[in-house]
Amino acid sequence: MTYEELKTTEINQLIVQTDLLKLAKECLSIVDSSTMKDKEITMLIESAIRDLERVEIDVKGHIEDNLVKNTIIIYVKAHFGDGDIDKRTEYLKRYKTNLRELQFSEEYQIKEVDSNA
């Protein structure tokens, strides 16, 4: 298994363990039993997690935190096939606002381990 496959597997396990897919479907008004859009929604959740990690937000350490979950769901809603450009723009603004709040809070930042300790 390659490193990229391992990283994706970890994220997929995180999604399953935290019911993020179920939550995203609920927030998108999709019944839980419908699986037609699961791949797209899962891809968007993974993208949101990677985007948060890209700006050094400790997603895995705070995955149960409602601010982190809300930020992921807003990302999904902003990028999911909604044809209303005004809604998508509003969701993107809200996502960027949440992202800034997380970035500027030391509580959510990835803590580097001192290898000299």
Q: For 98-113, write each residue's pLDDT tens digit.
A: 999 999 999 999 887 5
- Mean per-residue pLDDT of the chain: 87
Instruction: With cut-offs at 50, 70 and 90, classify the pLDDT of residue 72.
Output: very high
pLDDT score recorded for residue 81: 76
Q: How far apart, in whole angstroms, are the C-alpha atoms of residue 57 and residue 72?
A: 12
Q: What is the pLDDT of residue 14?
A: 79
Kindly indicate the confidence band of residue 79, based on its pLDDT and cuts at 50, 70 and 90.
Answer: very high
Please check the confidence at residue 114 and state whether its pLDDT lies above 90.
Answer: no
Q: Which residue has better confidence, 2 or 3?
A: 2
pTM of the prediction?
A: 0.84
What is the number of residues in the chain? 117
56: left (phi over 0), alpha (psi -120 to 50) or beta: left
Mean pLDDT of 20-25: 94
Backbone conformation region of residue 113, classed left if phi is above 0, alpha if psi is from -120 to 50, else beta: beta
Average pLDDT over residues 36-61: 94
% of the chain at pLDDT higher than 70: 87
